[in-house]
Amino acid sequence: MKKGAGREETRGGSLARTVVGGTGLIAAAGGVSKLLTLVSAPILTAALGPSPYGVVALLSTVTSLAMTVALLGIDQSYARFFFAGDPEEGRAAERFCWRFSLIASLGVATAAGTGWWWWSGHAGLSSSLVVMVVAGILLGVWNAMATTRRRLLGGYLRIAVAMIVTGALGALLAILLALYWRQDAWSLLVGSAAGVAAGAWVTGFPAAETVLVPSGLSRAHRMDILRLGAAGAVTAPVFWLMGSADRWIIAYMRGSAELGVYAFASTVGMVGMMLNSAITLTWFPEMIREYESTGAESFPRIGMLWARLASGLMVAWIAVAAAGGDVIRLIADPRFHGGTIFVPWLAGGIFFYGIASLANTGLLLKKDLTPSIRWWVAGALLNLGMNLLLVPQLGGTGAAMATFASFGLIAAGVMRTAQARLFLPVPWKVLGASAAVSLAAGMVMIPPWSGNPALSLILKFPVGVAAAAAVLRISAREWFSLEKAGECAAWLRDRFGGSP
């Protein structure tokens, strides 16, 4: 497939410009969406209290696991095989991936809904929530596939708009339902489901023939697609275990109220996941497109940009670790303020999760993600063991520490394995210097700088901006030149039209 084939909104340009531009769009949209959620927090936390958040956290673990089972990593295969071979072969792979995911989602949603109906009562949960379990699975799978399709077309602006619609509608509807309908988990769940449905509609679905017409691929080709996704089918449930075991252990050993505090703190501590998602959405399709166009000649560019994206994740950790505690004290009911201590650990775990995702670069280019499985299994075992050991004594702090340590192990292991399979020239000394600055800045800014959380945020802001600029300047000095500023302006004009 020729470079740039299939593009919808990106119009050529360098790998760095396209990835950074697309990532910026999606991260900004994620920030707006998260801001809407945080703005709604004072109303929702006061109206609902901690327990409904605990119920939502437990139900979400079920739907997220079912989604990973339904997808079986097919979204990763979709992204890799869409650009392999000629355009017709890519479209055939697309038809197979869509047909497989939709059929699988219907089957898994039916099975999960049946399981919830019979089992939920034993856990003290309402069996009537089966409706939200089924809806969550179907909407989640369809939205994941629609987003994958749009990113392969280069439609990052469309994805960004969809994210804002999802956040805005979800937050607004949750508030209305909590104030005028019922004060329990239903308000949060219905609002969230409606937001996802609206976002998927904005993202857009393929033509009917994509689902109705058979792919025409040989059995061997279909098995190759499924084989690549098989690693994701293993690592995704492991990721689910790591993101769910802490919640179930806290609920069992410390109670649903503490779980609600932990779950709410997680929404702040894991804000960095927005940047992770933005990078994943843009990096992998663009990096694969670059590799398929130029082969091994692309490795220096890929390695350098890899390091700069990792530095961006460091900046996200600084921001979340420094501001997260103050944000919770500012927006949440006092019953949730105990969760401030969890934030830096959770933000660190999300940083390492982002590095682990980027570490898959070489393995994905080799069309073989299976070497990463053992590191995910090792990380999950460490996570489970630390939760069982630490949660009884430390509560949510122990769970957050387990998240940090386990994702750190996975990031280091997957990167080591990937580099052994396909070496990328990553500037590790530069990354080490960026990491040192990030850690120093974060440790200084984690404690509150004032008893007034708003004033603390204001005092920290210029220091945080300076620290972020220092980290990015170390890893991408030329990005701070006037020439690059002009290129950025040209990219924006190309994207949105009009004059500067």
**Scanning the structure block, which residue is given the tokens 């609600």?**
260
What pLDDT does residue 14 have? Answer: 66
Cα–Cα distance measured from residue 287 to residue 363, given in angstroms and rounded to the nearest whole number: 12
- What is the total residue count of the chain? 500
Q: What's this model's pTM, rounded to 2 decimal places? A: 0.71
What pLDDT does residue 297 have? Answer: 82
User: For residues 435 and 426, is the Cβ–Cβ distance under 8 A?
Assistant: no
Cα–Cα distance measured from residue 116 to residue 120, given in angstroms and rounded to the nearest whole number: 5
Cα–Cα distance measured from residue 68 to residue 61, given in angstroms and rounded to the nearest whole number: 11
What pLDDT does residue 444 have? Answer: 92
Tokens read off for 298: 């692309």
What pLDDT does residue 6 have? Answer: 47
Cα–Cα distance measured from residue 302 to residue 304, given in angstroms and rounded to the nearest whole number: 6
Residue 297 class from Cβ within 10 Å (0-12 exposed, 13-18 middle, 19+ buried)?
exposed
Tokens read off for 458: 């204001």
User: For residues 413 and 375, is the Cβ–Cβ distance under 8 A?
Assistant: yes
Cα distances from 184 to residues 9, 51, 333, 337, 438, in angstroms, run 41, 8, 16, 21, 40
Residue 500 three-state SS = coil
What pLDDT does residue 412 have? Answer: 94
- Angular region, 107: left φ>0, alpha ψ -120 to 50, beta rest: alpha
Compute the half-sphere exposure of residue 61: CA atoms within 13 Å on the CB side of its CA.
20
Backbone angles phi, psi at 461, to 5 degrees: -55, -55
Q: Please give the torsion angle defined by the CA atoms of residues 421, 425, 426 and 432, in that order, rounded to the nearest 10 degrees.
A: 110
Read off the pLDDT of residues 306-335 as tens digits, 9 standing for 90 and up: 888 899 899 989 999 999 888 888 887 788
Q: Among 100, 102, 104, which residue's Cα sits nearest to residue 222? A: 100
Which stretches of the chain drop beneath a pLDDT of 50? Answer: 1-12, 496, 498-500
User: For residues 10 and 156, is the Cβ–Cβ distance under 8 A?
Assistant: yes
Cα distances from 243 to residues 119, 248, 270, 350, 354, in angstroms, run 21, 10, 11, 11, 14
Tokens read off for 404: 């940090």
What pLDDT does residue 481 have? Answer: 59
Cα distances from 119 to residues 112, 113, 124, 237, in angstroms, run 10, 10, 9, 20
